[in-house]
Structure 1
Amino acid sequence: MTRTAVQARPLLIAVGLAAGPAVALGLARFAYALVLPAMRADLSLSFATAGALNTANAAGYLLGALVAAPLATRLGLRTAYLGGLVVTAAAVLASAGTGSVPLLAALRLLSGATGAVVLVLGGGLAARAGRDAGAQQATRLLAVYFCGGGAGILLSGLAVPPVLAAAGWRGAWVVLGVLAFAALAAAVPAARAVPADDAPASDRRAGRLPLRPLAPLLVCYGMFGAGYIAYMTFIVAYLRSEGAGAGTVTAFWALLGAAATVAGFLWAPLLAQLRAGRGIALILGVLVLGAALPLLPGGLPVAMLSAVPFGGAFLTVVAAVTAAARQYLQPRHWTAAIAALTTAFAAGQCIGPVLSGTLSDGPGGVRAGLGLGAALLAVAIGVALLVRDRRAGAPAAEQAPAQARPPAQSE
């Protein structure tokens, strides 16, 4: 096999595994913002209630992050990843069948929990696929994997608005569910192609995850989770309030998804050269720009422009934080580290929608909620600058990549 073919195989696996974030993030989580205005009108939901439904999803995400690693130990990475993907798709599809707020909240909770399992364990599989890669290639694989979320946003942006106009919000959930099940066609062969864990049994005892070196990353990631979700939950409602029609919303969401899809490829070479904290801070700076644009004078045109910097940064933050954790830790800790970071991220997402939704119901309207999100992201920049570059913490990953081994999980 040629060197090019050897290098291409992990990349193709990462592309297939990216169907996981496409479903867990793009379809099950972020597409809610597209369906929300129609649901609010039909079900007479306040912004606070709409935010609470997304908080239910974030609470499920928190639960899923906590159980992902133990679940993978019990069932195996592949089985747990694919099983979570199936349940997430089923929960999305089932959302079309009820107008009950408690039932919708339960489905949002379920899709959040299984979506987190998919995201965490898919990251573990992507790390295993690139276990012999150096820092730059490993960063590229993680960026490709998380770009799946952008592809899901792009897909939902093209599919949902026309369906909303023809079949309402229930029809939109049906289409999202069908797309989620269709993603299995890419995810299943990719998961099966990931090399088996051939580490000795003694190496599979990961031991206690060292949280101290991860502390600034955990705080930063939690602030990011609380800040970005305000934009992703309420930006479509804001566009509607500024007079945007279905075509404009479709264009905006597709632009956001397209920017998120290609961003990882563009950021990866730069991130591989920058120190971890500076790289994360730089991406967060671009994200703050995107989050702040709708708050500036100019109305709808300026808000539309925000899709480019925001879409081009928010999923790359996820990849950059994950890559930073990879620098700090031995390979046996990678999956546990992704789970811990996702837990902090989910905790922030639990807080963000309620706070921004409550502010949006006040005299400041949706702009106030969006302003809160931008402020939290600005604080996250300062925390990111506290993250030190400690490559010595992961010698097997950075100094001797050929001997690196994937996160310890049973098959």
Structure 2
Amino acid sequence: MSTTKPCGQLADGVSKLASITSLVAATAVSQAFGRFTYSVLYIEIRDDFDLSNTLAGSIGSLNLVGYLLGSLLVAYTIGNLGLVRTARHGLLGVIIGLLLLTWAPNMAVVTFALFLTGLAAAGVWVTAPALATKILGVEKQGLAVGWVTAGVGLGFFFACVFDAALQTWRSVYQIEALLGITTFALLYLSIKTSEATSSQSGISPAALRQIPGWLNLCLTYGLFAIAASLTLTFSAALLEDDAGFKEQSASLVFALIGLGLALGGPTVGWLADRIGRKATQLASLASLIASCVLITTGLPFVAPAGTLLFGIAFTGVVVNITTKVSSHLDGEAFGAAYAVLTIVFAAGLAVGPQLGGIIADSSGSFRPALLLSAACGFCALCLTFKDLDLADRNR
């Protein structure tokens, strides 16, 4: 039998704004810097070590395999560690990985560091939505999830700006490592944890089954993950290699994904609280499909509009799925169940880079990878319509 304990509390004299800011920064460091910066620097790292797209894509997949294993680890340890300690340990692991990347004399170090950042990032992402909801209140859970998701967008945006402004990819990781250390101090000082323990640990499919349409939710999240990983990994490469964008221009256009994530997070969360998750989920998936097609064109103004739309659509899907889980479960129960869902998401993410790299090498273009992303988004949209139809029949 599990016991309930406070998942996180404001430190003495700390405002809600400061605590939410620390969570936003933590998701920026763990997800954007630790996981998605490699997508921004893909061409530079590939060319620096003279890699094929298949091998470079495989390295990206290892980062996501690490995220998958990290989700499993979180599921088994969150009951003992609690949400706050899990987030702290995860953020610390990401920082160590970023520090390794600032040095990285060979591809073996890069590969290990990216695996480590993926492994540790799960500790932050699984816990941040529940902590944010605890701070802002259940009635604002959509907004809470939106804010932590916005952190990913802000981090992604700045990663692209750093890439455009700095000379080498290692310099980008140096700045990100310094920001990570600052964020860890902020998180440690702003949110305190209880010493109480919980017996709830391990993977909890039983908790996940409490959510109506849980299986459909898992399938939708998995397909969305494949689509997202393909787009995030290969959009910048498509703009540079296929569309002829200069490196700095491609990075700045790619930064619009981060801007879309940052703007879409609180906006979509606010809309989900008011007009419902169903409407925003359908709109988000439809926008995802459209964005992939727009990016594939490689046209000036059209492709940048597609990257911005993708960022907003990505946020919409993540916010609505996360909010659906948090509306049925809270505390460590949310963390354990969401870890299971994150495992599905991570598995989908791990498939994308490897598959896209093979497609790019065989076709000589990154466009087919983006079209496959759109196809996965369409399948997820069909599953969502089916889920809504079943819900209407059961009324």
The TM tier, using the shorter chain, reads 0.7 to 0.9
- Report whether the alignment pairs 1:67 with 2:70: no
1:262 equivalent in structure 2? 263
Deviation at 1:100, TM superposition (A): 3.3
2:37 equivalent in structure 1? 31
Structure 1 residues 332, 388: closer, same or farther in 2, change over 3 A?
farther
- Report whether the alignment pairs 1:51 with 2:57: yes
Does the aligned pair in 2 maintain the 1:69–1:121 contact within 8 Å? no
Letter in 2 for 1:251: L
In the alignment, the residues of structure 1 paired with residue 300 and residue 51 of structure 2 have an alpha-carbon distance, to the nearest angstrom, of: 24
Deviation at 1:198, TM superposition (A): 8.8
- Structure 2 residues not aligned, in runs of 5+: 1-13
1:396 equivalent in structure 2? none
Which of 147, 155, 158 aligns to 1:152? It is: 155
Does the aligned pair in 1 maintain the 2:149–2:261 contact within 8 Å? no
2:325 equivalent in structure 1? 325
Letter in 1 for 2:292: A
1:406 equivalent in structure 2? none
1:72 aligns to what SS in structure 2?
Answer: helix
1:14 equivalent in structure 2? 20
2:377 equivalent in structure 1? 377
Which of 208, 211, 216 aligns to 2:209? It is: 211
Letter in 1 for 2:169: W
Letter in 1 for 2:74: A
1:284 equivalent in structure 2? 285
CA RMSD of aligned residues (A): 2.8
2:143 equivalent in structure 1? 140
In the alignment, the residues of structure 1 paired with residue 384 and residue 321 of structure 2 have an alpha-carbon distance, to the nearest angstrom, of: 10
Does the aligned pair in 2 maintain the 1:58–1:347 contact within 8 Å? yes
Deviation at 1:234, TM superposition (A): 0.9
1:45 aligns to what SS in structure 2?
Answer: coil
Which of 104, 117, 120 aligns to 1:114? It is: 120
1:117 aligns to what SS in structure 2?
Answer: helix
Does the aligned pair in 2 maintain the 1:69–1:336 contact within 8 Å? yes
Structure 1 residues 354, 175: closer, same or farther in 2, change over 3 A?
same
Structure 1 residues 210, 304: closer, same or farther in 2, change over 3 A?
closer
In the alignment, the residues of structure 1 paired with residue 78 and residue 330 of structure 2 have an alpha-carbon distance, to the nearest angstrom, of: 18
2:51 aligns to what SS in structure 1?
Answer: coil
1:362 aligns to what SS in structure 2?
Answer: helix
Letter in 2 for 1:325: V
Deviation at 1:274, TM superposition (A): 4.0
2:244 aligns to what SS in structure 1?
Answer: coil
1:360 equivalent in structure 2? 360
1:401 equivalent in structure 2? none
Does the aligned pair in 2 maintain the 1:143–1:268 contact within 8 Å? yes
In the alignment, the residues of structure 1 paired with residue 113 and residue 138 of structure 2 have an alpha-carbon distance, to the nearest angstrom, of: 39
2:191 aligns to what SS in structure 1?
Answer: helix
In the alignment, the residues of structure 1 paired with residue 272 and residue 249 of structure 2 have an alpha-carbon distance, to the nearest angstrom, of: 33
Structure 1 residues 183, 245: closer, same or farther in 2, change over 3 A?
farther
Letter in 2 for 1:76: G
Letter in 1 for 2:255: A
1:399 equivalent in structure 2? none
Deviation at 1:108, TM superposition (A): 1.4
In the alignment, the residues of structure 1 paired with residue 335 and residue 190 of structure 2 have an alpha-carbon distance, to the nearest angstrom, of: 18
Structure 1 residues 21, 386: closer, same or farther in 2, change over 3 A?
farther
In the alignment, the residues of structure 2 paired with residue 235 and residue 245 of structure 1 have an alpha-carbon distance, to the nearest angstrom, of: 13
Deviations 1:189-232 (A, max 9, x none): 3323x7x5999x89999984142731111111111111111110
Does the aligned pair in 2 maintain the 1:17–1:187 contact within 8 Å? yes
Does the aligned pair in 2 maintain the 1:277–1:385 contact within 8 Å? no
In the alignment, the residues of structure 2 paired with residue 204 and residue 106 of structure 1 have an alpha-carbon distance, to the nearest angstrom, of: 28
1:365 aligns to what SS in structure 2?
Answer: coil
Does the aligned pair in 2 maintain the 1:146–1:316 contact within 8 Å? no
Structure 1 residues 205, 221: closer, same or farther in 2, change over 3 A?
closer
Structure 1 residues 205, 49: closer, same or farther in 2, change over 3 A?
closer
Does the aligned pair in 1 maintain the 2:61–2:350 contact within 8 Å? yes
1:243 aligns to what SS in structure 2?
Answer: coil
2:184 equivalent in structure 1? 184
In the alignment, the residues of structure 1 paired with residue 147 and residue 338 of structure 2 have an alpha-carbon distance, to the nearest angstrom, of: 16
Deviation at 1:390, TM superposition (A): 11
Letter in 1 for 2:266: F
Deviations 1:231-280 (A, max 9, x none): 10011111112222243134213322222111122222321244434432
Structure 1 residues 100, 279: closer, same or farther in 2, change over 3 A?
same
- TM-score under structure 1 length normalisation: 0.83
Deviation at 1:154, TM superposition (A): 1.5
Deviation at 1:80, TM superposition (A): 2.1
Deviations 1:90-122 (A, max 9, x none): 102202323433332222111101001111122
Does the aligned pair in 1 maintain the 2:89–2:123 contact within 8 Å? no
In the alignment, the residues of structure 2 paired with residue 328 and residue 240 of structure 1 have an alpha-carbon distance, to the nearest angstrom, of: 44
Deviation at 1:72, TM superposition (A): 2.5
